[in-house]
Structure 1
Amino acid sequence: MASRSGRRGWSGKPAARATTAMTAPADAPISGVVLAGGLSTRFGSDKAAAEIGGVSLLERAVRLLESVLDDVWVSVRPDQASDALRSRYRCLLDRHPGQGPAAGLEAAHASAPGHAWLALACDQPSLSAAELERLVAERDPKAAATACCDPSTGVLQPLCAIYEPATLAGLAKETARGTGPSPRGYLESRPLKLIPMHITNINSPDDLRKYQRSGATTL
């Protein structure tokens, strides 16, 4: 099933009118990007294609973002844009492959510099629409980012976060140089609005099996 966010396999710029009803008019509009350009080294195969309940992790993440935002994209490496899984969605191509999630964020910012971007890794199946709605509703545009954190440890979750335009501009410059920090490293030295949430990450086949056995089916 193709994403409702646009044409199959199309790579271009988000529509400038894209907003969310939960965003104040004075704030930058929010677009969404699923980061799906990783090498899946620890997983051993394409993690985005792994399934829970017959639905790929990528499809789950796209559906989740589409439940709270009108303008949703998938960040991919150039060599992935035509594969059977990713070509179903509107794709943003990494312009600096090898820079990890930062490359996806840079591509998103380059496509719409005036937008804030809700960035979501595709390997967080425990997230619910209600939790993302809370993240958007509690967004602080004056912070560098509004991000999830672990409720027990306070550890930042940089791949479930709304990045403000100025933050992305700075990260993009460093990413383009090829020496930029990770999104976590970049955010940790900046003022953040943190939202405590329990997030389960799927990093290995064993993590996937455990999640499948748990019976959790959050979307």
Structure 2
Amino acid sequence: MSHLEGISGVVLAGGENTRFPSPKAFIEIGGEAIIDRSLRLMAALFDEIIISTNQPEMYFPKCEVLIGDVSTQRGPATGILSCLLNIRHDRAFFMACDMPFVNPELIALLASCSLNYDAVVPFHMGRPEPLMAVYHKRIISMLRKSIGDGVKSLAAILKTVNTKYVQGEQLRRIDEDGHSFININTPEDLLNIDNRRYNKL
């Protein structure tokens, strides 16, 4: 798959990591760290790749561009704002650092819908997935306001901007089993993953 034009790729690695005993980005699946899987995926899709992190010392060998939070109010919304303020393009695809099986065709689908929307977000199992979505710089002012008002919920922020939800048959055609939406929050989540089944992704 060729590069997606006019869009950057961002791995969100700024979470608190409270439910896993080690940094989730470095969990190995099939002998490869999730962060390495994610960066390999993005290298095939984007001409600009960024890691959003407040611990740059952990990621210096991984990526040329590391962006820390521009606000003391921590959370994914702050990470997204910080990156939108600094990316080369007007749009960026964001994914959490604990999602090892994201399908590149799904990323391409989200990107293809994103020119006329402020945000393009998958809607899976009855809820939005705002940590695997495309955001446009047009939401910068709303993000600033929401963060300043103490609003941390991305789902709530999405209701205030022009958001397209990708769902139903559109998602099933690309990712019938929902593997792209698997994330590893706890050691139990890791134990439930069958590496032999997923290693090919």
Q: 5+ residue gaps in structure 1?
A: 1-19, 24-28
In the other structure, the counterpart of 1:87 is 60
CA distance in 2, matches of 1:182, 1:161: 15
- Pair 1:71–1:170, CA change in 2 (3 A): same
CA distance in 2, matches of 1:104, 1:40: 15
Matches within 5 A, 1:46-195: 46-77=23-54, 80-83=55-58, 86-88=59-61, 89=63, 90-112=65-87, 115-137=90-112, 139-150=113-124, 152-153=125-126, 155-175=127-147, 177=148, 179-195=150-166
**Superposition deviation, residue 100 in structure 1:** 1.2
CA distance in 1, matches of 2:114, 2:199: 30
**Superposition deviation, residue 98 in structure 1:** 4.4
* Aligned pair partner of 2:186 in 204, 207, 211: 204
CA contact (8 A) 2:56 2:66 kept: yes
* Aligned pair partner of 1:37 in 6, 9, 14: 14
CA distance in 1, matches of 2:123, 2:77: 19
- Pair 1:215–1:148, CA change in 2 (3 A): same
Q: Identity percentage over the alignment?
A: 28
Q: Does 1:216 align with 2:198?
A: yes
CA contact (8 A) 1:113 1:165 kept: no
CA distance in 2, matches of 1:95, 1:178: 15
CA distance in 2, matches of 1:130, 1:113: 23
What secondary structure, in the 3-state scheme, does the structure 2 residue paired with 1:135 have?
helix
**Superposition deviation, residue 131 in structure 1:** 1.9
TM (normalized to structure 1)? Answer: 0.76
What secondary structure, in the 3-state scheme, does the structure 1 residue paired with 2:166 have?
strand
- Provide, for residues 27-62 of structure 1, a one-character-per-residue CA deviation record: whole Å limited to 9, x for no partner: xx3111100011210123211111101211111122
CA distance in 1, matches of 2:40, 2:78: 22
Give the number of aligned pairs.
187
TM (normalized to structure 2)? Answer: 0.82
Equivalent AA in structure 2 for residue 160 of structure 1:
M
CA contact (8 A) 1:34 1:75 kept: yes
Equivalent AA in structure 2 for residue 30 of structure 1:
I
